[in-house]
Structure 1
Amino acid sequence: MRAAPAPLLDITVPRTLDEWVARFSQPQWRGTHVQGWLFEGVAARRAAEQALAAAGVHARLRCAYKPLVHHFLEEVDVELGSVAQAVVRCPAPATGSPRRFHLEAYPLAAMLPPGALQWDSAATHDGSYAVTLTLRSGEVREARVLAPNRVHSDCIGEPQQSPTGWLRAGTTPGASDLLDTAVDTDYEQLFAHVVRTVRQHPWPQAEPYFERLDIRIDLHGFEQPLPAVDESISTYEALHEDVYFSLLEMFQRHSGRATGDRRLQPGQIVPDVRPAQAASPTHSLRIAMRAFDTAAQDERAWLDTTAAQPFEAMGMAPPPARVAAALAQWQGERFAATTRQGRTVHGLYRAGDDAPVFLSAGQHANETSGVVGALRAAELLAQRPGAHFAFMPLENPDGYALHRELGAQHARHMHHAARYSALGDDIAYREKAPLYEREARQQALALSGAGLHINLHGYPAHEWTRPLSGYVPRGFEQWMLPKGFFLILRYHAGWLEQGRALLEEVTAALVHVAGLPEYNARQMALYEHHAGAIPFEVLHGTACMQAESTGDAPVTLITEFPDETVDGDAFRFAHTVQMATVLAAEQAWQRIMGRTPS
């Protein structure tokens, strides 16, 4: 058996919080007032403050990540429901999005009473938010909330402004006459070690560069629940996302491709960011290449709770064996393809008299509501006389396995490392042999002759950030905040009329899905409060995008439900909407193509 290669890096990094406690517990700091900002949770920060208080130091330690949200959670000493108005002036961004600090304040508008949060159009120029709080009692309070940031070059040399650590110390409360400086915290050091190690490694020129690249980080981080919006601020998730996309961008540069090129096949990049042992004085980081081991990976998958449940009752995505078993029960012509890791993409073709459609899900494997929605829709279509369709409910089994593996550690994280294939590319963009999963899509279209491809997708159900690379995820700026369920229309030249008719009919039908209009309106309102106007057309309460393309079918309808990652009733609602969209689109297509819906 071939020995595993030596790790690229295997180190520990001291905990900044412990270093600060040790530093300011020295006798010369007794009686001083210390303020610090770093990437730690409130419980750890309060414990450190108490330790410093025992040494005679007046300390206040705050969170450097989303500081305005943490200010309202930790330092506004009234129930947030008693706030009548909160007027906020944001810092002027040094680079990047002009709404950078409005975005970093998400989801504050939902944490306060409706209409309470108002933005002052003027900006501050000292790196802090200016907050004027009016309580229902009439009391007015003023506060300045530092948002410590640094301007720097990111992993591909682009200028960014990112959250950073900061220390202030003074002889009186709030003063900084003794110390006022940025601090390179442990969180930032871990990220920098990853970027530097991968950049300096002598990668080959030919893709893929590895089978699997593991980046294991044991971190003293935090998960801060935000019950008002069923969200959680997670430094583990944020670091996973920034590591994954930074390395993807670096490998794109190494390959000579443009940033964001989805055809890149570096191999599978797997950031695995877990809580460190509470008693550990350090964080740990290990970067290593290893071979695929599908059996071991499947053993590490999350605990399944869907056994024997009908699809409509599922509160989480089912295991792949359940998906395959469902297809095996239905009549039709089977087709399949083999993935890079040797798994099977299963497909089914049902001939009929109707205009053919192609239904797929799971291209991006961390978007799982489409898998169940597709199964539910196909189950109904299979019972309909004359229905004519090709069906592929799980297009990316390798990514799905990684999502289930990572989900065992963090069930409600986005896991964008599981989005693409085991080759590291987006299956839909694959152009050269071996085609692997792409063969199944080609078979589906060839067998069915479908003029419409209904392609079920999802996107983050909560905020998506890259905190150490400018905060806003490059190339995905419009996807970083939920904005409800929406549709993307792609059409070949000459097919715009049919595509627009499809959008009109489907969005009109979605008005009748219980709870969806209210859900969309609520999410779009919160999006607009922080990100500005929705940059899409809205039809019957559903946001829509459209573009001419040269894609697989003459018309493609892509669904986008914010399902990364929800469970329980929220997941059931997500796959119900996906199913309803498929059924509405299939029926509309019959009318558009001059058929009588069966």
Structure 2
Amino acid sequence: MTIPDLNPQATQHDTQTTWQQTFPWEGRRLLDQVTALRQEGAPSQVLAYVSESPEMRAWLRETLRTTCGEACAVRVRSAYKPAYFWVTEELQPLWRRAHADRLTLTYPRLPGENPGRFLQEAYPLAAILEREGVQAEFIPGHAQPTYQATLWRGDTALWQGSCFIPLASRESPDGRTVVAPTGWLTVQADTGPLHDAPLPTDGELFWNWYCSVILPAILDLAGQRNDGLVFKDLSVTLHLSEPDLALDVLDERISMTEALTEEVYFGTLDALKRHTSTPPDARTLTPGRIVPIARSTPGQDGRARVTLTRWDAAPQEREELDLPPSGERLGTSTLLDRPWPPARTWAYARQLADQYGLGWSVPAQSVDGRPVPAMVRKGREGPEGVLVTGGQHANETTGPVAALQFVPSLVASDLNFAVLPLENPDGASLHRALTQIAPEHMHHAARYTSLGDDLGQRQGLPRWETRARAWARDKVNASLHLSLHGYPAHEWVRPYSGYAPYGFESWALPAGFVTILWYWPGQADNARAMADAIARRLLQEVDVTAYTTRAFRTSAAHLLQPHYQLIHGLPFILAEQRGGLCPITVITEAPDETIYGERFQMFVRAHVAVCEAAVAFQVRQHAEA
């Protein structure tokens, strides 16, 4: 597939290189194509697949009807998640009129693809059908790229139909062959077919350009260094006419603009891993900060601007610093509602330390020089303590707030403890900036550190942010690590790399509040007993349980094999982990990326409930020892 007006030239200035590219809007290309085809014959049927919002597709449909005449049958379907839009836009009116009570949807299983891929692409139809009172049956089918549906009332079939899935084979940045969504145009005249071929979407044009122009330049730069660094910043700004819309079910969203930012971020990492022979699941690369931003600009030509800033010198660790009290008394009313900026998190942590007479230290700094403070209590008679950490992955937003809210409960216990409420302040600062632009996007670009690695997997001796965790564990002799995390609140997609996010497939669909327990060899019985105690405590949070039950039911309907086990009806993962920081690590996973308001508050309470149950279990274990 060629890219219109490809211009690989880049402009350079000092330590920066900038590329710019425009992409003709697929809607205009569609209309021009149909207009040209009219010279060959009068169209009687037009079926187009474009990656556009429902409103833009409705406008294109009406424009095509005007162009082709009222006698021409025109359908403009979505090239992205075609099954979802086909069912909700074309079948929903049918089942309502016919009072259907059951829908069977047969999804394809294509050779070489994950057998559940197209079941997942139909998500969240299960929730839509449940709300409509229509029983959903998803059935694996043939090896052809089509969905087939039947509407039923009782045992009577009321309607049958099918939906083509336009796909294109491509190579992902890590070298895998995948099939990805593409646009399509089929035009039929009374005399026969006029056209039946792909129509590249705006997202495809951008991604082809990025992979053919930007990634090779990055890999070339990586080959020029031997210190593991590649760039200081890689800024990618997109304006494309692509769908970005909230759904009225669960906290779901369908957003190709967001999906493209995920492709830029993880695709760049994947390409570098392949280039350096780094294992695909490693989080140890330090390429630099990757910052993709995508805006939906309906009906306009697309444009992209990429700016790469090179290091003028390798980063160096700085002298220690302290965070003096801010002098401002901070309440908790807004604290529980949404993420706080790093400075306010630090100020509230210092306030709590002063209020409860806790030790205060700044054992580490980030790469960009931001502090990583700790609240510590030691000197209690108990031989083992508790470590609480939040904000390791900075786009997982409820953890730092919950860590602060849990401090009074820790103070009331008789345990030694250390609390690191914000381990990754550079990521948190970036996340705050990104959410000012796109508050409903999950922004995994802010997940890792400024170097681009996961601080929990940084190689070599502890440096920068990683110093704090080891320091705090040793300070209180922690035997229990409470690590507060989150994951996407809506479907996580990488459309040009196999659909589900490669390496994170099990987290692609939200399943409610999930709890993970890692344990050292010999700790399996303790971990399972603790998980049981945690589940019983979570059941007291009625809203958390109700939300999790519904989300889990919906996601499970679109997965062949969920990777969780249910304990008292709630999802858990228990696994032996020899490399865990402590004998038992409890990891809370709230679907909190893009969550605000009451839902944010609910998940903060869920984190705290898990922490309370785990600490209470630990206290009982010590008392019985």
Would you call these one fold, judging by a TM-score over 0.5? yes
* CA distance 1:98–1:117, change in 2 (3 Å): farther
Shift of 1:52: 2.4
Corresponding residue number in structure 2 for 1:298:
none
Shift of 1:227: 0.5
Q: Deviations over 1:138-195 (max 9, x none)?
A: 78122211111123321122121221111111015xx972211223322111011112
* CA distance 1:292–1:44, change in 2 (3 Å): farther
Q: Deviations over 1:247-288 (max 9, x none)?
A: 111111222211121111111111111123x574x2111111
Corresponding residue number in structure 2 for 1:101:
118
Q: Deviations over 1:543-573 (max 9, x none)?
A: 2222222221121111111111211111111
Shift of 1:457: 0.6
SS of residue matched to 2:474: helix
8 Å contact kept, 1:83–1:112: no
SS of residue matched to 1:221: coil
8 Å contact kept, 1:312–1:376: no
- Give the counterpart of 2:68 among 44, 53, 56: 56
8 Å contact kept, 2:150–2:157: no
8 Å contact kept, 1:160–1:470: yes
- Give the counterpart of 2:269 among 248, 273, 295: 248
Query: Is the aligned partner of 1:335 residue 2:361?
Result: yes
The CA RMSD measured in Å over matched residues stands at 2.5
- Give the counterpart of 2:336 among 307, 314, 327: 314
The amino acid that maps onto 2:390 is A
Question: In structure 1, what is the Cα distance between the partners aligned to 2:273 and 2:171?
Answer: 17
Corresponding residue number in structure 1 for 2:21:
11
Shift of 1:406: 1.2
* CA distance 1:216–1:375, change in 2 (3 Å): same
Corresponding residue number in structure 2 for 1:230:
251
8 Å contact kept, 1:31–1:171: yes
SS of residue matched to 2:368: coil
Question: In structure 2, what is the Cα distance between the partners aligned to 1:453 and 1:592?
Answer: 15
Q: Deviations over 1:72-94 (max 9, x none)?
A: 23223528765411111112223
Corresponding residue number in structure 2 for 1:575:
604
**Correspondence list, 1:45-444, <5 A:** 45-56=57-68, 58=72, 59-76=74-91, 78=93, 82-113=99-130, 116-119=134-137, 121-134=139-152, 140-172=158-190, 177-201=193-217, 202-203=220-221, 204-206=224-226, 207-276=228-297, 278=298, 280=300, 282-290=301-309, 310=332, 314-329=336-351, 330=353, 331-336=357-362, 337-351=364-378, 352-354=380-382, 355-382=384-411, 384=412, 386-433=414-461, 435-444=463-472
Instruction: Name the count of aligned residue pairs.
Output: 577
Shift of 1:380: 3.1
* CA distance 1:319–1:476, change in 2 (3 Å): same
Q: Which stretch shows the higher mean deviation, 8-17 or 456-465?
A: 8-17
Shift of 1:440: 0.7
* CA distance 1:312–1:274, change in 2 (3 Å): closer
Q: Deviations over 1:102-148 (max 9, x none)?
A: 10000001001367343354513431111112369978122211111
The amino acid that maps onto 1:75 is E
* CA distance 1:252–1:373, change in 2 (3 Å): same
Corresponding residue number in structure 2 for 1:39:
51
- TM-score, with length taken from structure 2: 0.87
Corresponding residue number in structure 1 for 2:326:
none
SS of residue matched to 2:545: helix
Shift of 1:33: 2.2
Question: In structure 1, what is the Cα distance between the partners aligned to 2:94 and 2:442?
Answer: 31
Gaps of at least 5 residues in structure 1 are: 294-306
Question: In structure 2, what is the Cα distance between the partners aligned to 1:146 and 1:136?
Answer: 27
Q: Which stretch shows the higher mean deviation, 406-415 or 326-335?
A: 326-335
* CA distance 1:429–1:125, change in 2 (3 Å): closer
The amino acid that maps onto 2:308 is M
Shift of 1:518: 2.3
8 Å contact kept, 1:198–1:247: no
Question: In structure 2, what is the Cα distance between the partners aligned to 1:279 and 1:37?
Answer: 15
Question: In structure 1, what is the Cα distance between the partners aligned to 2:463 and 2:76?
Answer: 53
Q: Deviations over 1:452-491 (max 9, x none)?
A: 0000111111111111111111111111011121221112
8 Å contact kept, 1:374–1:582: no
- TM-score, with length taken from structure 1: 0.91
SS of residue matched to 1:391: strand
Q: Which stretch shows the higher mean deviation, 538-547 or 392-401?
A: 538-547
Q: Which stretch shows the higher mean deviation, 261-270 or 50-59?
A: 50-59
Question: In structure 2, what is the Cα distance between the partners aligned to 1:122 and 1:552?
Answer: 42
The amino acid that maps onto 1:558 is I
Question: In structure 2, what is the Cα distance between the partners aligned to 1:375 and 1:292?
Answer: 36
Shift of 1:575: 0.6
Query: Is the aligned partner of 1:468 residue 2:468?
Result: no
Shift of 1:54: 2.4
Shift of 1:198: 3.2
* CA distance 1:580–1:232, change in 2 (3 Å): same
Question: In structure 1, what is the Cα distance between the partners aligned to 2:524 and 2:333?
Answer: 34
Question: In structure 1, what is the Cα distance between the partners aligned to 2:479 and 2:181?
Answer: 48
Corresponding residue number in structure 2 for 1:539:
567
Q: Which stretch shows the higher mean deviation, 449-458 or 551-560?
A: 551-560
Q: Which stretch shows the higher mean deviation, 131-140 or 532-541?
A: 131-140
Question: In structure 1, what is the Cα distance between the partners aligned to 2:607 and 2:49?
Answer: 43
The amino acid that maps onto 1:47 is W
Q: Which stretch shows the higher mean deviation, 2-11 or 178-187?
A: 2-11
Q: Which stretch shows the higher mean deviation, 434-443 or 312-321?
A: 312-321
8 Å contact kept, 2:119–2:138: no
**Correspondence list, 1:425-574, <5 A:** 425-433=453-461, 435-548=463-576, 549-574=578-603
SS of residue matched to 1:233: strand
The amino acid that maps onto 1:112 is L
* CA distance 1:408–1:46, change in 2 (3 Å): same
Shift of 1:595: 6.5
SS of residue matched to 1:498: helix
The amino acid that maps onto 1:15 is W
Gaps of at least 5 residues in structure 2 are: 1-11, 313-328
